[in-house]
Structure 1
Amino acid sequence: MSIVSALGYVVVRGPLEAWRHFGPEILGLQAARSADPDTLLFKTDSRSWRLAIEAGEPAGPQSLVALGLEVRSADRLEALADTLRSRGIEVHEDPGLAERRRVRALIVFRDTTGNTIEAYWGPTVDTSGFTSPRGVTFVAGETEAGEIGIGHTFLLAEDAAGAAAFYTDHLGFRLSDTIAFGPRSAHFLHCNPRHHSIAFAALPGAPVSGLGHLMLEVTTLEAVGRALDAVQERELPIPLSIGEHSNDRMTSFYVRTPSGFDIEYGYNGRVIDDRDWTVGHYESPSNWGHRFTVVPGPATD
């Protein structure tokens, strides 16, 4: 069993006014109450929030502020902190940050590529539920397969295998599979039945660290198609056309966010049962589609 139960939330920087429209109107996220005027909060399910946007300039992959990794109890969080410290990893508790993140407690540390990790327990549940302004339902939070979190993040790393090893060795993630990206392979990791919650890859011409994309999954192909229509009507950048991935079978397209990283908007992602899962290797990231386009945007290096 993984020490981490889910990718619970993601925090990024970006232009708030642009996100104020992009989140609800394009993605179908519900705006949540925020006590900080310099932070927008968005919901995808009954949690009080899943995606936070802190005021800042578009910075592409470097827009990532923190990944929130959920554990199931205070005891497990304490055990994780002890384990990390015993292995020479610097960890600190931050009660003030826990209050702002609306969780009972959290610890902060960094992975080998410098990404900030906030491991926490006790997230706040919004009893009013979730209502999407676009009428979509996200595959997030509690599902028939269990708690699976917000979605997945695709992270950039010069040494993808080494970056993935931090999560498997210290946090209990498990390898789902690998995909050839040029001469090196991307590594896909799971901590619950979602095919992957975190992936690492070195991409030609891309920065050596940061957030490549955040995947949000919806429950119908129609919702993907309508979101794609909304993106095209507004002439927003589409880095990858609609297609189906080879490993997780997600049918999706990619849209450039106001922060400069991408959102993968998808349907029908594969789930994993560790009792009979076999790790595989794929020679191509997609079965069809997902054609690259030339996308204008902020500098990412």
Structure 2
Amino acid sequence: MIQELSYVGVASPHVDNWRSYGPGLLGAMVKPDGPAGAVRLALDDINHRISIHPGTADEFRYAGWGLANETDLRAYVEQLTERGVDIHWGDADLCREREVAELAWFCDPWGLRHELTWGKAATPNSFQPGRVMRGRFVTGDQGLGHVVFQVPDMNKANEFYADVLGFRLSDRIVNGYFNVRFYHINGRHHSLALAEFPGHVGFNHLMLEYENMDDLGRAIDLLERHDTEIMQSLGRHTNDLMTSIYITTPSSFQIELGHGGLVVDDLSWVARTYNKPSYWGHRFSSAARTRAPGILNPIE
């Protein structure tokens, strides 16, 4: 019943760096601050999609998943409760902060928080990109983009995200270095991916997709101005056909900036297994070889 990745939130001691990084490099629109000085970024007419909260360390806080309406939300919560998921309803203050009509939340088996919502606030014709752009971000019925989490046990993770939560497998990449599963909830090839990393849990990256290839190219030209490093060079993925680059952010996790992602149709889609992630490119930089792959924490 989940229909979109609606929003994400992280905490960081470098929250103020996002005030220039978000609009000047990504092309997002800075919106009025949230509680406690959280930086909020919009990518479309939804009031805000990305929140960076002040914090003493870089930390993944939550992913927000949108459902169609209140009936779907309540039916889904009932279904998850019957499957043993510990659901908590957000109070009025939390709903105001997230700008949603209703919210229920839970944590996955390793503590990653997920929020289920409906009625995310939007202001028609409000989005203005933070830099010159030829097009817009690909959102709409495909939602925000996609998130990639590292999980210690792929089988256990798949049981939770696919069998319990209902994410639908698009395909997977398996070889001596990768064990990654990709899941869709709408036409976007994947809104969620899980990468096995034994002994750890983490938030690897957020993908944002541009409508126009020139906007991706312009972002690459702006990297040096914003003191941003390339983690993986420009390349094209085998499974979702996205042409993209992976870059650093002020807050440890990476952002994948892409164009031309595949749209799937559940009536005809067949999941495949690939043995490599890219047709070409996506070469790891020296920075990628020496740094943690995102906001990563060991499992005790």
Is the TM-score greater than 0.5? yes
Distance across 1 between alignment mates of 2:159 and 2:23: 36
- Structure 1 unpaired stretches of 5+: none
One-letter amino acid of the structure 1 residue matched with residue 265 of structure 2: D
Deviation track 1:127-169 (CA, whole Å, cap 9, x = no partner) reads 2421102233444432xxxx11110001101112421332222
> Is 1:168 aligned to residue 162 of structure 2?
yes
Structure 1 counterpart of 2:116, from 105, 114, 119? 119
Write the distance in 1 (CA, Å) between the matches of 2:150 and 2:195: 5
Match of 2:86 among 87, 90, 95: 90
Q: Are the aligned partners of 1:164 and 1:199 in contact in 2 as well (CA < 8 Å)?
A: no
Q: In 2 relative to 1, CA 183–141 (structure 1 residues): closer, same or farther, beyond 3 Å?
A: closer
Asked if the contact 1:41–1:52 (Cα under 8 Å) also holds between the matched residues in 2, the reply is yes
Cα drift, residue 18 of structure 1: 0.9
CA contact (8 A) 1:181 1:203 kept: no
Map of 1:272 onto structure 2: 264
Q: Which AA in structure 2 matches 1:49? A: H
Distance 1:293 1:44, change over 3 A: same
Specify every segment of 5 or more residues in structure 2 that has no aligned partner in the other structure, as ranges: none
Aligned to 2:72: 76
Q: Deviations over 1:210-240 (max 9, x none)?
A: 1100000001111111101111344422110
Alignment counterpart, residue 159 of structure 1, candidates 141, 150, 153? 153
Q: Is the 8 A contact 1:181 1:201 kept in 2?
A: no
Shift of the 181–58 alpha-carbon distance from structure 1 to 2, 3 Å rule, reads farther
Structure 1: distance between partners of 2:219 and 2:189: 23
Residue correspondence of structure 1 range 24-39 to structure 2 within 5 A: 24-39=23-38
Q: Which residue of 2 aligns with 1:255?
A: 247
Provide the residue aligned with 2:208 in structure 1.
Answer: 216
Deviates more, 1:163-172 or 1:23-32: 163-172
Alignment TM-score, normalising by the size of structure 2: 0.91
State the distance in 2 between where 1:233 and 1:35 align: 27
Deviations for 1:266-286, whole angstroms, at most 9, x for unmatched residues? 000001011111110110001
Tell me how large the CA RMSD over aligned residues is: 1.8
For 1:6 and 1:130, the matched residues in 2 are separated by 19
Query: Separation in 1 of the partners of 2:42 and 2:10?
Result: 14
**Following superposition of structure 1 onto structure 2, how do residues 126-275 of structure 1 map, counting pairs within 5 Å?**
126-136=123-133, 137-142=135-140, 147-182=141-176, 185-203=179-197, 208-275=200-267
Decide which moves more: 268-277 or 128-137.
128-137
- The aligned counterpart of 2:279 is 287
Q: 2: distance between equivalents of 1:202 and 1:231?
A: 29
TM-score, length-scaled by structure 1 = 0.91
Structure 1 distance, partners of 2:22, 2:56, is: 17
Identity of aligned residues (%): 34
Partners of 1:20 and 1:234 in 2: how far apart?
11
| Alpha carbons 2:246, 2:256 under 8 Å: kept | yes
**One-letter amino acid of the structure 1 residue matched with residue 186 of structure 2:** N
- Tell me the alpha carbon deviations over residues 98-153 of structure 1, each in whole angstroms, 9 at most, x when there is no partner: 111000000010112321000000110112421102233444432xxxx1111000
Q: Is the 8 A contact 1:164 1:189 kept in 2?
A: no
From 4, 10, 18, the counterpart of 1:6? 4
**Distance in 2 separating the partners of 1:277 and 1:120:** 27
> Quick one: distance in 2 between partners of 1:297 and 1:193?
33
Displacement of 1:20 after TM fit? 1.0
Distance 2:107 2:153 in 1: 16
- Secondary structure of the residue that 1:150 maps to in structure 2? coil
Is residue 2:16 matched to residue 1:17? yes
Query: Where does structure 1 differ by over 4 angstroms across 4 or more consecutive aligned residues?
Result: 296-301
Cα separation, 1, equivalents of 2:47 and 2:121: 6
SS at the partner of 2:285? coil
C-alpha distance in 1 between matches for 2:242 and 2:291: 25
How far off its partner does 1:57 sit?
A: 4.0
